[in-house]
């Protein structure tokens, strides 16, 4: 009997502890305990949301410089990855740009690595103390053009609320902090899906854009968010953007690594996620999410690092991090597997889907493979679309080993290798903490145009970029009565490709052009032709002209899709414009009054 009482007491005691723990957890979640208790709870969980020292005392860049380092071969470069924070590599010159501490400067000198300081970049290194003084909930301190994590999440939610038929915000997973703290700290990883939910019954193109795997690359999250805002704000106003949501699904994940981004907001040059289990001290803890992917993880020598303190640390196993798991799981839901099981199996020419991973910096655009210089099975199609997208910002389009360095475990290799979709990595701009004037003048418009082209090609990324672009399309008059004629003009251009000489796409003569009404070519049943203004299709750029008789059209707005074909028979992506047919005025006829005449005239 006494044993039974003892057992009951133990069970009651354990149950009480569990209940107390649950109540404490709920109280912390609801912020109903004082901040020290919350921090104690997070500390026990291994979650650090504040620097171990005052940011005015602990500065990642204190006494560090940015330097250009000469290296001799691939082995020497891989050694640098493990020892210093490499920012950029210029493969042809065999130089690397890196931030190096005084101790690292001594090591470089001892190991025979010549280096010179980049004084302008050194002067621009962030100061966490200054960031703390300029704290702002809407924008990153000193960089008003970049939203904070909080502001980005709020704006994405607002877009979904304001456009319920066009946008849906989905929670696709948790950050490392959120998993570790059971939701007390950290963030959701969110995907904003843009499409006209009322347009159904046909195959839609799929485009996925992710940003901020490396949170110190400030431009990436803002570009992704601006892309969403552009598509939604212009829907119904710009027909060439409207059709993108009618016939595609565009998925935008602006903050893959929200935890790391919060440290950037405090002035730290944070690259990895915030995993503190690696055994490396703050602020070098974490895993490089773009080396943690499950496709050919840790595949090639020097393509990632096993050093837990390296900024290129790949993690303990493939897809070990919750952020990586969230993105890969989501991509499996979006894309069909369209490539064979063999490493050398190409995806079919009619593959659907484009994946874009936004990074910085270098003014580069990479196509697979990123882990090898060996051509990917769809190399020609990947390079062609890359050159078309690279045309707008005038970026160099290349395999990474050709113009920077190779790396494994990347999101781009995962997307192409697993599904066969056309996948790319952008390296935006000229530095991580890009100034707002440069961002607004040389990145925003150019990259948004590039992303619009990606959306146009998303349904058939290995086919549509082979054809000419239709630009400068117009209709005159744009508003007219039924039975009247509208004149269509445009330019067909097969020369718009990044690069020059042998490093660009060959241009073909234009051979035909056409337009369809209220449906793109893959859904239209009838077409009208456009003619070359000079009377002959014989050039790589042709001015086009055509007419549309509106007899029989009911009053309303009509979308006109224009396409051009090259001499090899390739049709390019459509460009859309709109016309409005207005009803004939039906005003009341004037009343006829009998004229009064003097009696003598009657």
Which residues are designated catalytic? 427
- What are 31's two structure tokens? 């912020």
Could you say which DSSP state residue 577 is in?
E
Looking only at the bridges linking them, the beta strands covering 354-359 and 205-211 are parallel
Distances (CA, A) of 409 to 318, 354, 406: 8, 19, 11
Q: If DSSP states are collapsed to H, E and C, what string results for 45-108?
A: CCCCCCCCCCCCCCCCCCCCEEEEEECCCHHHHHHHHHHCEEEEEECCCCEEEEEECHHHHHHH
**Alpha carbons 241 and 243: distance in angstroms, whole number:** 6
Angle, helices 218-233 vs 444-457, to 10°: value is: 60
- Reported in sequence order, the residue ranges of 282-387 that DSSP labels E, i.e. its strands, are 354-359, 364-366
Cα-based distances in Å from 404 to 116, 383, 398: 20, 16, 9
**∠ Cα 419 420 424 (to 5°):** 105
Q: How far apart are CA 166 and CA 132, in angstroms?
A: 38
What is the rounded CA–CA span in Å between residue 294 and residue 595?
Answer: 93
Positive or negative: CA dihedral 485, 486, 491, 494: negative
Phi, psi values for residue 415, rounded to 5°: -65, -45
DSSP string for 455-511 = HHHTTSTTTGGGSPEEEEEEEESSEE-TT-EEEEEEEEES---SS-GGGSPPP--EE
**Cα–Cα dist 491/558, whole Å:** 21
Which of 545, 543, 577 minimizes the C-alpha distance to 560? 577
**b/e map of 328-362 (b: 16 or more CB within 10 Å)?**
bebbeebbeebbeeeeeebbeeebbbbbbbbbbbb
Tell me the H-state helices in 117-166: 119-123, 128-133, 149-162
Cβ–Cβ under 8 Å, residues 334 and 207: no
CA dist list (Å): 539 to 106, 409, 456, 546: 60, 44, 24, 18
The answer to whether 464 and 457 have CB atoms below 8 angstroms apart is yes
Q: Which two tokens stand for residue 465?
A: 């970029």
- Please tell me whether the peptide bond between 369 and the residue prior to it is cis, using omega within 30 degrees of 0: yes
> Within 10 Å of residue 264's Cβ, how many Cβ atoms?
28
- Bridge partners (DSSP) listed for residue 366: 398, 425
Beta-carbon-side half-sphere exposure of residue 132 (alpha carbons within 13 Å): 13
Among 465, 290, 286, 306, CA closest to 370: 290
């Amino acid at each position: 009997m006494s044993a039974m009482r003892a057992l009951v007491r133990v069970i009651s005691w354990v149950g009480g502890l569990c209940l107390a723990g649950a109540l404490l957890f709920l109280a912390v979640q609801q912020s109903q305990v004082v901040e020290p208790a919350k921090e104690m709870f997070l500390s026990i969980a291994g979650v650090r949301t504040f620097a171990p020292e005052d940011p005015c005392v602990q500065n990642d860049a204190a006494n560090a410089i940015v330097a250009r380092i000469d290296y001799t071969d691939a082995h020497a470069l891989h050694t640098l990855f493990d020892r210093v924070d490499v920012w950029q590599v210029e493969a042809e010159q065999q130089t690397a740009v890196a931030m190096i501490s005084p101790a690292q400067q001594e090591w470089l000198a001892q190991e025979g690595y010549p280096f010179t300081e980049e004084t302008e970049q050194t002067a621009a290194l962030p100061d966490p103390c200054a960031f703390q003084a300029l704290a702002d909930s809407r924008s990153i301190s000193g960089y008003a053009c970049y939203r904070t994590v909080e502001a980005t999440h709020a704006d994405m939610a607002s877009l979904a609320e304001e456009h319920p038929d066009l946008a849906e915000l989905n929670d696709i997973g948790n950050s490392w902090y959120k998993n570790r703290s059971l939701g007390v700290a950290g963030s959701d990883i969110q995907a904003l899906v843009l499409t006209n939910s009322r347009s159904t019954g046909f195959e839609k193109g799929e485009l996925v854009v992710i940003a901020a795997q490396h949170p110190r690359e400030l431009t990436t999250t803002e570009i992704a968010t601006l892309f969403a805002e552009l598509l939604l704000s212009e829907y119904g106003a710009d027909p060439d953007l409207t059709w993108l949501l009618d016939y595609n699904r565009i998925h935008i994940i602006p903050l893959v690594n929200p935890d790391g981004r919060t440290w950037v907001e405090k002035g730290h040059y944070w690259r990895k996620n915030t995993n503190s289990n690696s055994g490396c001290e703050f602020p070098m803890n974490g895993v490089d999410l773009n080396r943690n992917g499950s496709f050919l993880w840790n595949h090639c020598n020097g393509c990632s690092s096993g050093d837990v303190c390296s900024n290129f640390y790949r993690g303990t196993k493939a897809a070990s991090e919750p952020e990586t798991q969230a993105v890969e799981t989501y991509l499996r839901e979006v894309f069909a597997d369209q490539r064979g099981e063999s490493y050398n199996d190409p995806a079919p020419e009619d593959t659907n889907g484009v994946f874009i991973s936004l990074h910085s910096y270098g003014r580069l655009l990479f196509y697979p493979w990123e882990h090898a210089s060996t051509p990917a099975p769809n190399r020609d199609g990947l390079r062609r679309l890359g050159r078309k997208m690279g045309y707008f910002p005038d970026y160099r389009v290349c395999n990474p080993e050709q113009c920077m360095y190779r790396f494994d475990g990347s999101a781009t290799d995962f997307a192409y290798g697993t599904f066969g979709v056309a996948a790319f990595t952008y390296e935006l701009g000229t530095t991580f903490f890009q100034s707002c004037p440069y961002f607004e003048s040389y990145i925003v418009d150019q990259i948004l145009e590039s992303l619009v082209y990606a959306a146009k090609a998303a349904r058939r990324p290995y086919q549509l970029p082979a054809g000419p672009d239709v630009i400068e399309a117009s209709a005159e008059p744009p508003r007219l009565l039924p039975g009247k004629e509208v004149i269509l003009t445009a330019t067909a251009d097969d020369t718009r490709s990044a690069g020059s000489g042998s490093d660009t796409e060959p241009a073909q003569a234009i051979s035909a052009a056409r337009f369809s009404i209220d449906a793109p070519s893959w859904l239209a049943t009838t077409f009208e032709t456009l003619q070359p203004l000079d009377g002959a299709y014989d050039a790589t750029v042709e001015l086009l002209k055509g007419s549309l008789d509106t007899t029989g059209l009911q009053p309303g707005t009509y979308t006109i899709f224009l396409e051009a074909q090259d001499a090899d028979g390739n049709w390019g992506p459509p460009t859309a414009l709109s016309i409005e047919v207005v009803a004939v005025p039906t005003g009341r006829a004037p009343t006829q009054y009998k004229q009064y005449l003097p009696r003598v005239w009657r």
